[in-house]
Structure 1
C-alpha cells in the first residue's frame, strides 16, 4: 500500500459562471476515483441565497464532495466547492 502526502497531490481548479451547474455535473460524472488529485470548483453564486451546489454535484460522482473553507487541507479524490461569498 502506498501512502501519499499533500506534496504528491495535484490540485485542479474548475471555474464556472452562475449558469455552469450542468457542465460541472457532466464533468464530475467522468472524473476518475483513483487519481492523486483534489478538485476545487469555483462558481459564481449569489451571496443572498443558500447554495445546493455541493449536494447537486455529489449526486453525479463517486468522489467525496464537500465545501472548502479557509484552512482546509486538500485530500485526493475529493471535489471541493467554494461557498457563496467566497469570491
Structure 2
C-alpha cells in the first residue's frame, strides 16, 4: 500500500496551525505523510523584537508540536517585509 502525501504551503510560520490544524492532524492520524512548507521566517511579525530572535521564536512551536507526529518541516526562510 502506498502512503499518501500531503503538502501544505503557508506564507507565515503559524498559518498551518491556525488555519488547518484539525484537518492536518486528522490526515496524520490516518497515516498520511504531512509536509509543511513555510515561505517566510516570521521575522517581520513584530517591531518589538529583533527579526532574527522572533524568527527563532516562531520556529519553536512547530518543531515541538508537529515533528513528534512524524511531519516533515521545510522552511524557505524568506525575510518578511
User: Normalised by the size of structure 1, how large is the TM-score?
Assistant: 0.48
Give unmatched runs, 5+ long, in structure 1: 59-64, 67-76
> What residue is the counterpart of 1:61 in the other structure?
none
Determine which structure has the larger helix proportion and give its number: 2
1:41 aligns with 2:50: no
CA distance in 2, matches of 1:45, 1:24: 18
RMSD of equivalent CA atoms: 3.0
Match of 2:48 in 1: none
| Alpha-carbon distance, 1:29 to partner | 3.1
User: TM-score by structure 2 length?
Assistant: 0.51
Q: When the two structures are aligned, how many residues end up with a matched partner?
A: 62
Q: Deviations over 1:24-69 (max 9, x none)?
A: 423333235243x3110112232732112222x43xxxxxx26xxx
Runs of 4+ in 1 over 4 A off after TM superposition: none
Which segments of 5 or more consecutive residues in structure 2 lack a partner in the other structure? 44-51
Q: How do 1:20-35 and structure 2 match up within 5 A?
A: 20=15, 21-35=17-31
